[in-house]
Amino acid sequence: MLKNFRTSTSFLSGTLLGLSLAVGLSAYALKDSEQIPFEDLQAFTEVFSKVKSDYVESVDEKKLIEDAIRGMLNGLDPHSSYLNTTEFSDLKIGTTGQFGGLGIEVGMENGFVKVISPIDDTPASRAGVMASDLIIKLDEKSVKGMTLNEAVKIMRGKPNTSIDLTIVREGEAKPLVISITREIIRVKSVKNRMLEPGYGYVRITNFQSRTTTDLLKAISDLQKESRLKGMILDLRNNPGGVLNGAVGVSDAFIEEGMIVYTEGRIDDSSHRYLATPGDSLNGAPLVVLINGGSASASEIVAGALQDHKRGIVLGTKSFGKGSVQTIQELRNGSAVKLTTARYFTPNGRSIQATGIEPDIKLSTVKLSAADEKASAAYSEADLDGSLSNPNGDDGTDEAGKGDSEALAETDFQLYEALNLLKGLNILSGFSDS
């Protein structure tokens, strides 16, 4: 956190997520073999009753029970949690990458909603909303005193409905009122461009249900522009997302063999994911960029490509989240996010709390100090209650963008990745004819 600017990024209006790897919806049912700890439950009932009767203020019993459930799950590990109906709905919206909203990334500053960035080609960007705008009113409601989630909930809504934003903008003598009509916002997880003729760049910001499709389209677009001699896959600061996205992205480059496997206590938690024939790059060299902000699904991809020797991994050690969370829907419409398995790379490596070590370690040299701190601040191993590594290892590392010579100034890692890619192209003898 930087001073009083608390970022809690929401893509108007849905919280940016990327923690869960596997999303499986199932109704909860107690197994016959499970025994209810009656005496402990009796103690819980007693405490609940005393809080209800003796606490200095009246307490909503539904909230009391919800808080108890949250405490039970939060005590397991950093990634298990309870999701009420609203939170569960937000999570499902986030994994599909589309929702009804305005199209701005927002945070909180001094009690007001601050625009971090409008998303390209969305209602907000077309209406003239700008980065650093302070939103002080939503329709006639002041945002002062609201939480970010409360403000986001108001800004979210059905497509074709409108909302008035009252904005304070630097350089303007008085607040601006901007009316915006909501649309379905599609958060783009895959971005691409050509760095130089023949050398493509694809960035994956998080893993959604359609990320693989978007990746294949991005590669196809690059190949139409110039036959690819090699490609850089940028997974820096990618917090993860859905498991099928990671498997699909890995499969786009791996011809055969294991991509990832998971192991847990229950049968449903143990899976093997295998590659299918075909390489979207037709054997062209691949460089994968990672850093301390690359987690979970990102690490699956980097680990699979590394074990298969399909790509050179460059950057700094990844975050080290090697656990799988399953989302289990409850009867009341809420859900439990529960850690049910660990995942392993094709060679049997668990990266839980250790991360993926790059083939070529390269710290960011020209990156701003603020960005560097943001990604290097902590790792999975630093999280209170994090799972241990079953292989007996424990570990802890950093951060990323640009065009040829200018890359050295704006993104040193990407600059070096491009140079490496050119060298690999020469050594491999890959033909661009």
Looking at the annotation, which residues are catalytic? Answer: 296, 307, 321
- SS3 letters for the chain? CECCEEEEEEECCCECCCCCCCCCCCCCCCCCCCCCCHHHHHHHHHHHHHHHHHCCCCCCHHHHHHHHHHHHHHCCCCCCEEECHHHHHHHHHHHHCEEEECCEEEEEECCEEEEEEECCCCHHHHHCCCCCCEEEEECCEECCCCCHHHHHHHHCCCCCCEEEEEEECCCCCCCEEEEEECEEEECCCEEEEEEECCEEEEEECCECCCHHHHHHHHHHHHHHHCCCCEEEEECCCCCCECHHHHHHHHHCCCCCCEEEEEECCCHHHCEEEECCCCCCCCCCCEEEEECCCCCCHHHHHHHHHHHCCCCEEEECCCCCCCEEEEEEECCCCCEEEEEEEEEECCCCCECCCCCCCCCEECCCCCCCHHHHHHHHCCCHHHCCCCCCCCCCCCCCCCCCCCCHHHHHHHCHHHHHHHHHHHHHHHHHCCCCC
Burial of 341 (0-12, 13-18, 19+ CB in 10 A): buried
